[in-house]
């Protein structure tokens, strides 16, 4: 579950960082190109020189605010940290599966070593924000159920399977709410 959560957070923060960077880049390009506009173009567009200066000034302030926001929220850094957590958890999951299938090979000492290794690695990971835990857990559970549906109905449309999953879960939730 933590692997899914860190993967989702890494993807989300990376998308946000890229959207912010692209917005900054496009706005900066437009602003720079507007500063070199010929006054004849402004007359053609029925814009006075003063109005153009005000708009360019406001756009400059907006770009500065966006750039400062990018520094403060640090979405790219958060994406990197969650990706590192995801990559650290993958080998642990594989080793845990090996331990489960080969119980006799993992004596008490091996279990203690594995637990110590897990504790060390888990202590270095960026935490999952409490405010996002429930939503991320729900996303993980849907992913697991959807994966099972795809395995049992391999020719079906993933969109249709998602819809069936959504509809069935909400129908059950609604009935449970009404009867309680």
Question: Stretch 1-11: mean pLDDT, rounded?
Answer: 94
**64 and 138 share a domain?**
no
With CA atoms as reference, report the closest residue to 3 among 115, 172, 128, 104: 128
Quote the distance between the C-alpha of residue 12 and its chain's center.
Answer: 2
pLDDT of amino acid 104: 59
**19 and 90 share a domain?**
yes
With CA atoms as reference, report the closest residue to 9 among 72, 66, 76, 68: 76
**57 and 122 share a domain?**
yes
**140 and 106 share a domain?**
no
**60 and 75 share a domain?**
yes
**84 and 103 share a domain?**
yes
Query: Side-chain half-sphere of 10: how many Cα atoms within 13 Å?
Result: 16
Q: Which residue reads 């070593």 in tokens? A: 113
**143 and 93 share a domain?**
no
**111 and 162 share a domain?**
no
86 vs 97 pLDDT, higher one: 86
Domain count of the fold of the chain? 2
Range of the domain at 158: 133-180
Whether the pTM exceeds 0.85: the reply is no
Q: Percentage of the chain with pLDDT > 90?
A: 54
Q: Which of 30-39, 98-107, 111-120, 151-160 has the lowest mean pLDDT?
A: 98-107
pLDDT tens per residue across span 44-67: 888 787 888 888 888 899 899 999
Distance CA 21, CA 7 (A): 21
């Amino acid at each position: 579950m933590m692997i899914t959560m860190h993967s989702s957070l890494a993807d989300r923060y990376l998308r946000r960082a890229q959207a912010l960077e692209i917005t900054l880049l496009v706005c900066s390009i437009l602003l720079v190109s507007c500063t070199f506009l010929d006054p004849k173009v402004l007359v053609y567009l029925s814009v006075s020189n003063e109005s153009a200066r005000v708009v360019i000034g406001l756009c400059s302030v907006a770009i500065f605010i966006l750039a400062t926001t990018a520094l403060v929220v640090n979405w790219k850094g958060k994406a990197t940290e969650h990706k590192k957590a995801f990559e650290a958890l993958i080998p642990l999951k594989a080793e845990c599966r090996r331990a489960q299938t080969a119980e006799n090979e993992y004596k008490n000492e091996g279990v203690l070593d594995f637990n110590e290794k897990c504790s060390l690695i888990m202590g270095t990971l960026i935490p999952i924000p409490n405010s996002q835990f429930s939503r991320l857990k729900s996303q993980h559970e849907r992913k697991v159920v959807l994966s099972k549906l795809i395995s049992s109905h391999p020719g079906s449309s993933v969109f249709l399977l998602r819809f069936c999953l959504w509809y069935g879960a909400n129908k059950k939730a609604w009935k449970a709410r009404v009867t309680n």
